[in-house]
Structure 1
Amino acid sequence: MNRLDISDMTARRYLQELADKDLLVRVHGGAEKLRTGSLLNNERSNVEKQGLQTAEKQEIARFAGHLVEERETIFIGPGTTLEFFARELPIDNIRVVTNSLPVFLILNERKLTDLILIGGNYRSITGAFVGTLTLQDIASLQFSKAFVSCNGIKDHAIATFSEDEGEAQKLALENANKKYLLADHSKFDKFDFFTFYNISDIDTIITDSKLSDQTLQSLSKQTKIIKSKP
């Protein structure tokens, strides 16, 4: 990095910041620019996301875990933030329904009252089950609370990369008495391919302490937003 007159550590930090903003993709030994017009390059795998904003996701998960009460039936959608949430659930006397294989595997180590994995077409990149069979199963169920995540929150919209994953999360939210969106600060002011829900239809958005006060104030006009504490 002598040509740029910066240390290797500084360069790696800059590259990670650009990757977090979806301006490039980290590869072995460096980074590559995203190809213009190729949305497929923007979908990170579950494994890649596990290493992003881990402290913030942990922060959100700890707070959200205390929203769950005994004997409730809750839905947990796919996503690494929700995997952190599954680990932080403070009680076992609940029924959990999920279409996320990673969430199921985490909770299968516990002794929950009831744990249900919704099947369907498997998306290996995220570990989610989607499609007609998934939607049919979710449509037949009712939840005390639904906890979902997303890839982008902007203006009035909540968006994700996959239309199929978005449709499953939308249906679970519609069948829930209380609707919660768990998203770290990096998801705000970002678009993604498929809008699956309106911000104003969510009961509460739970984010981390790094969300700017300006963004908080702007979106608070549409729904309740809670910043968790480190």
Structure 2
Amino acid sequence: MLKTERQQSILAMCDRYGTITVKFIQETLAVSDMTIRRDLEELARKKKLLRVHGGAQKMSPQKGISSSFSTIEANELSHSEKKKLHTIEKEYIAKNAAAHINEEDDTIFLGSGTTIELMTQYIKQSSLRIVTNSLPVFNLLSETKKHELYLIGGLYREKTGAFVGSIANEAVQKIGIKKAFVGVNGLKGPEVSNFSIEEGTLQKIVLDNAAEKCLVSDANKFDHSDFYTFYDLRKIDSLFTDATLSAELKSFYQQYTNVIQ
């Protein structure tokens, strides 16, 4: 491959994914590590991309809360609207994620979101300690009368049915969590984002405190950003998604975490 073709390919990958690593470029283009690094340095000097540790990032015309801000949703969907979207895919993810809960008496955190709500019907254990800031999740689990349930209180967000804010943040900081399951609105390179700063702040605290950190996301949220970037995908242990995720995107995101379909 000629140098110009190689660099055009690198820029195209940067444009598509936002952030790319040297390893990913090397595997995609089948060229040496040193060649890629020289290309990245040259492209950075020409201000065609931004050189970052271990790779490169798309040049952004604006700086904001999220550095790869290519897709911002103007309006957050309501809880009822979200329940109607990608129902088959969410069911698939929920089954796989729930199967990852494999020990009795664990302390589990379940965040807000329609996929996590579906998880509640597939949890097989009968003696879990479950912590949640989601009123719908709490209501669904309370009907089973099987688990020790803790509902984190705070400011109520009707859009998602979640409690957030300083009261909720203080409460989750004091809880030791074995496995945490959190939903997302967007995945763009290593950046994990959602619509709400308040929910994102709580989710970050939960994930930082959890021994095992898990995300759930249907395939249409990959390669997109939402308003607030709250976590780094490289810190996540498992990312549960559905079978419609393309092999190319799975390969790209595997460099950051374990993608489970």
Q: Same fold (TM over 0.5)?
A: yes
Contiguous gaps of at least 5 residues in structure 1:
1-38
Structure 1 residue 141 corresponds to structure 2 residue 175: yes
User: Of residues 48, 54, 57 in structure 1, which corresponds to 2:81?
Assistant: 48
Q: Aligned partners of 2:208, 2:116: CA distance in 1, in Å?
A: 18
User: Of residues 162, 177, 192 in structure 1, which corresponds to 2:226?
Assistant: 192
CA contact (8 A) 1:146 1:179 kept: yes
CA contact (8 A) 1:101 1:128 kept: yes
Structure number with larger C-alpha Rg: 2
Identity in percent: 43
Structure 1 residue 57 corresponds to structure 2 residue 57: no
Over residues 183-222 of structure 1, what are the superposed CA-to-partner deviations in whole Å (9 max), with x where a residue is unaligned? 1101101110101101100001010000010000011011
Structure 1 residue 155 corresponds to structure 2 residue 206: no
Q: Aligned partners of 2:160, 2:73: CA distance in 1, in Å?
A: 13
Amino acid at match of 1:201: K
Shift of 1:112: 2.5
Structure 1 residue 167 corresponds to structure 2 residue 201: yes
Secondary structure at the counterpart of residue 59 of structure 1: helix
Amino acid at match of 2:152: I
Name the residue aligned to 1:33: none
Q: Aligned partners of 2:248, 2:133: CA distance in 1, in Å?
A: 34
Structure 1 residue 73 corresponds to structure 2 residue 115: no
Name the residue aligned to 1:23: none
Structure 1 residue 221 corresponds to structure 2 residue 246: no
Amino acid at match of 1:109: E
Over residues 57-88 of structure 1, what are the superposed CA-to-partner deviations in whole Å (9 max), with x where a residue is unaligned? 10011111111121100000000011011221
Amino acid at match of 1:132: S
Structure 1 residue 114 corresponds to structure 2 residue 151: no
CA contact (8 A) 2:193 2:230 kept: yes
Secondary structure at the counterpart of residue 178 of structure 1: strand
CA contact (8 A) 2:173 2:206 kept: yes
Amino acid at match of 1:223: T
Name the residue aligned to 1:98: 132
Q: Aligned partners of 2:126, 2:193: CA distance in 1, in Å?
A: 31
Shift of 1:40: 7.1
Q: Aligned partners of 1:181, 1:166: CA distance in 2, in Å?
A: 13
Superposed structure 1 runs of 4+ greater than 2 Å apart:
39-42
CA contact (8 A) 1:120 1:134 kept: yes
CA contact (8 A) 2:180 2:212 kept: yes
Q: Aligned partners of 1:112, 1:189: CA distance in 2, in Å?
A: 38
What is the TM-score of this pair, normalised by structure 2?
0.71
What is the TM-score of this pair, normalised by structure 1?
0.80
Over residues 7-56 of structure 1, what are the superposed CA-to-partner deviations in whole Å (9 max), with x where a residue is unaligned? xxxxxxxxxxxxxxxxxxxxxxxxxxxxxxxx674311111000001001
Task: Compare 129-138 and 83-92 and name the one that shifted more.
Answer: 83-92
Secondary structure at the counterpart of residue 94 of structure 2: helix
CA contact (8 A) 1:150 1:183 kept: yes
Structure 1 residue 211 corresponds to structure 2 residue 245: yes
Secondary structure at the counterpart of residue 179 of structure 1: strand
Contiguous gaps of at least 5 residues in structure 2:
1-71
CA contact (8 A) 1:157 1:195 kept: yes
Q: Aligned partners of 2:160, 2:178: CA distance in 1, in Å?
A: 25
Structure 1 residue 83 corresponds to structure 2 residue 117: yes
Q: Aligned partners of 1:45, 1:214: CA distance in 2, in Å?
A: 31
